[in-house]
């Protein structure tokens, strides 16, 4: 983890800069602390060496700590703080001469992507170059290391994208792209016409001056080249993290799961907001209920897997067989039993608690494919609660081409719409890596995810066109 300390004469300036940096901060890799102003209500402008020292001590767990200063006396305070620190801690500290605003953003973006300290400091020192080039200022390159042009072989992979962002690849999307690609074992280069840049460097991406409508090309080569290309495509489909919708545009932007466009009428998936669950009886009875619900759902999953194997193949049936194996886990049942016995919870309460913990654990994983499995866990939990409450899920009587709208959708929930006139699915949340997306693709249902909460305001029965090619849901 890298620590960054913003040392400024003005606390308001430092607070504003911190707020800006937080837009691209990964707190696991980069922690930011401010040491700004002095504790004098009448004369608050200034710097305090003690504040700087305390800020460094606050970040003592960091591998490296970068101090970024605004004006001359801020440097004096930083140097004084170093003299006051424990010598071992002082060895971690780097005084950086980069400009305060540009340097903060460059350091935050590079550190958040997991870059080395050498790369981070180099990014900071070059932070002004994009602005200087845009304003045709002379850039002093005497101290820069010559940049080696990447040489790609015939094995390199390539993809193109027409940028839709109204402001092009400005600082935030450039930081998101660099941070995303930094984690892949591949050399990646971004081209904009005859300009090229290291796609792992926010500053170099900014130098490309990519504007709306520009066709950019990403080239990748290395062991992770295909993964880097796929990740780039996903981020590009989501406009590099920018919300490009406006009040004049009646469409929402999401991520595509497959390519066709379909038209249908909006239908919001009913939500079982309340389950009619029985009250607590005895521990033995609650354990019996939980065990029976698990076994009953396993049986349903096995039947479903067999039928889907004939229709969609083994890969789809294996998803539900995997769910059945998860429910057959002795440790899972033991956790539910412990909740019932030690906390006197009902079978339903114990299942909700155990599955909620499991879902949270998946959501915290770094691997996007594994992370998406939380949707399966939530889906299984809801099915178990339906069984315990003896509640029949609401099955719609749809008679015309329909676009199904929902917050999220599990694989088992999707199966309820298998023999209905649903022609497409649009979710406000979800994941393009979910089993639901995989199954929907096999079923021939185009699907968009991560459309945002605006989807909830789409009026029922509105005519919609879902285009997974452009990742848009158009109303009217």
Query: With 70 as the cut, is the pLDDT of residue 107 above it?
Result: yes
Q: Is there a contact between 247 and 433 (Cβ–Cβ < 8 Å)?
A: no
Query: Two tokens at 236?
Result: 């590009």
In whole angstroms, give the CA distance from residue 320 to residue 412: 9
Task: Return the top range by mean pLDDT from 75-79, 247-251, 396-400.
Answer: 75-79
Residue 183 pLDDT grade (very low, low, confident, very high; cuts 50, 70, 90)? confident
Q: Which two tokens stand for residue 475?
A: 């109303």
Give the model's pLDDT for residue 73. 81
pLDDT value of position 142: 46
Q: Which of 35-39, 68-72, 368-372, 411-415 has the highest mean pLDDT?
A: 411-415
Q: Looking at 16-30, 31-45, 153-167, 266-280, which range is the least confident one?
A: 266-280
Span of 162-176, 417-431, 447-461 with lowest mean pLDDT: 162-176
Can you read off the two tokens belonging to residue 346? 């009902």
Sign of CA dihedral 351, 353, 359, 365: negative
At 255 the pLDDT is: 57
C-alpha torsion 270→273→275→276, nearest 10: -100
Average pLDDT over residues 359-375: 85
Residues 6+ apart with CB under 8 A from 109: 24, 123, 174, 175, 178, 179, 202
Active site residue 9: yes
Report the pLDDT value the prediction gives residue 172, as an integer from 0 to 100. Answer: 74
pLDDT of residue 119: 83
Q: Which residue has the higher pLDDT, 259 or 125?
A: 125
* Interval 19-28 mean pLDDT: 83
pLDDT tens figures, 118-129: 888 988 887 776
Q: Residue 131: what pLDDT?
A: 65
Higher pLDDT, 15 or 246: 15
* % the chain with pLDDT above 90: 45
Q: Which of 474, 460, 18 has its CA nearest to residue 270?
A: 460
Share of the chain above pLDDT 70, in %: 89
Query: For residues 302 and 58, what is the distance between their CA atoms, to the nearest angstrom?
Result: 54
Report residue 374 as tokens. 């939380």
In the chain, the domains with their CATH numbers are 2-129 (3.40.50.510), 157-242 (3.30.1340.10), 252-270+395-475 (3.50.30.10), 283-389 (1.10.274.10)
| Residue 170 annotated as catalytic | yes
The whole-number pLDDT of residue 128 equals: 74
- Which residue is catalytic, options 9, 64, 129, 238? 9
Q: Which residue has the higher pLDDT, 275 or 120?
A: 120
pLDDT band with cut points at 50, 70 and 90 for residue 256: low
Task: Tell me: pLDDT of 451 over 80.
Answer: yes
The catalytic residue among 64, 125, 129, 435 is: 435
Higher pLDDT, 376 or 312: 376
pLDDT at 115: 80
The model's pTM? 0.48
Average pLDDT over residues 191-211: 83
Confidence class for position 407, pLDDT limits 50, 70, 90: very high
- Of the pLDDT bands very low, low, confident and very high (cuts 50, 70, 90), residue 433 is confident
pLDDT confidence band for 208 (50 / 70 / 90): confident
* Catalytic one of 94, 170, 191, 268: 170
Q: Kindly list the strands in the beta sheet with 2-8, ordered across the sheet, starting from the edge strand earlier in the chain.
A: 30-36, 2-8, 64-69, 93-96
Query: 131 or 107: which carries more pLDDT confidence?
Result: 107
Q: Which residue has the higher pLDDT, 248 or 462?
A: 462
| Residue 23 CA, distance from chain mean position | 13
How much is the pLDDT for 272? 61
* Centroid of chain to Cα 280: 40
End-to-end CA distance of the chain: 49
| Amino acid 275: pLDDT | 61
Mean pLDDT computed over 243-265: 63
What local confidence, expressed as pLDDT, does residue 355 receive?
95
Instruction: Find which of 100-109, 249-258, 360-369 is predicted with most confidence, using mean pLDDT.
Output: 100-109
Length of the chain: 476
Q: What is the pLDDT of residues 374-392, one digit of tens each?
A: 999 999 999 999 899 877 7
């Amino acid at each position: 983890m890298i620590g960054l300390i913003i040392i400024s004469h003005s606390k308001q300036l430092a607070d504003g800069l911190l707020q800006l940096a937080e837009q691209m901060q990964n707190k696991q890799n980069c922690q930011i602390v401010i040491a700004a102003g002095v504790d004098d209500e009448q004369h608050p402008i200034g710097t305090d060496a003690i504040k700087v020292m305390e800020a460094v001590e606050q970040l003592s767990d960091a591998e490296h700590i970068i101090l970024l200063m605004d004006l001359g006396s801020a440097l004096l305070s930083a140097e004084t703080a170093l003299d006051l620190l424990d010598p071992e801690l002082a060895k971690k500290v780097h005084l950086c001469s980069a400009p305060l605003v540009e340097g903060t953003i460059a350091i935050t973006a590079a550190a958040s992507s997991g870059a080395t300290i050498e790369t981070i400091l180099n990014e900071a020192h070059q932070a002004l170059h994009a602005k200087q080039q845009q304003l045709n200022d002379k850039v002093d390159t005497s101290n820069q290391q010559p940049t080696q042009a990447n040489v790609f072989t015939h094995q390199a992979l390539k993809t193109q994208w027409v940028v839709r962002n109204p402001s092009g690849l400005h600082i935030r999307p450039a930081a998101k792209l660099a941070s995303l690609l930094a984690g892949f074992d591949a050399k990646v280069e971004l081209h904009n016409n005859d300009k090229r840049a290291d796609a792992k460097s926010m500053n170099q991406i900014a130098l490309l001056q990519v504007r709306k409508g520009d066709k950019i090309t990403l080239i990748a080569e290395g062991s992770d080249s295909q993964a880097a290309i796929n990740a780039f495509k996903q981020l590009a489909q989501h406009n590099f993290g920018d919300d490009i919708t406006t009040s004049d545009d009646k469409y929402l932007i999401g991520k595509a799961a497959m390519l066709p466009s379909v038209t249908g009428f909006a239908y919001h998936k009913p939500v079982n907001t309340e389950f009619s669950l029985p009250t607590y009886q005895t521990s033995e009875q609650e354990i019996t209920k939980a065990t029976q619900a698990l076994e009953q759902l396993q049986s349903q999953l096995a039947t479903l897997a067999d039928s889907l194997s004939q229709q969609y193949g083994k890969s789809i049936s294996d998803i539900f067989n995997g769910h059945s194996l998860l429910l057959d886990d002795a440790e899972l049942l033991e956790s539910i039993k412990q909740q019932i016995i030690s906390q006197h919870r009902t079978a339903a309460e114990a299942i909700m608690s155990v599955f909620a913990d499991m879902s949270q654990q998946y959501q915290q994983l770094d691997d996007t494919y594994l992370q998406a499995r939380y949707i399966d866990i939530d889906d299984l939990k809801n099915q178990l609660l339906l069984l315990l409450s003896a509640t029949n899920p609401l099955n719609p009587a749809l008679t015309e081409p329909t676009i199904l709208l929902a917050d999220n959708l599990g694989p088992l929930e999707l199966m309820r719409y298998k023999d209905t006139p649903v022609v497409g699915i649009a979710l406000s949340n979800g994941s393009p890596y979910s089993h639901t997306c995989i199954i929907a693709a096999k079923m021939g249902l185009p699907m968009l995810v991560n459309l945002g909460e605006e989807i909830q305001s789409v009026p029922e029965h509105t005519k919609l066109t879902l285009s997974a090619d452009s990742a848009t849901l158009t109303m009217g």
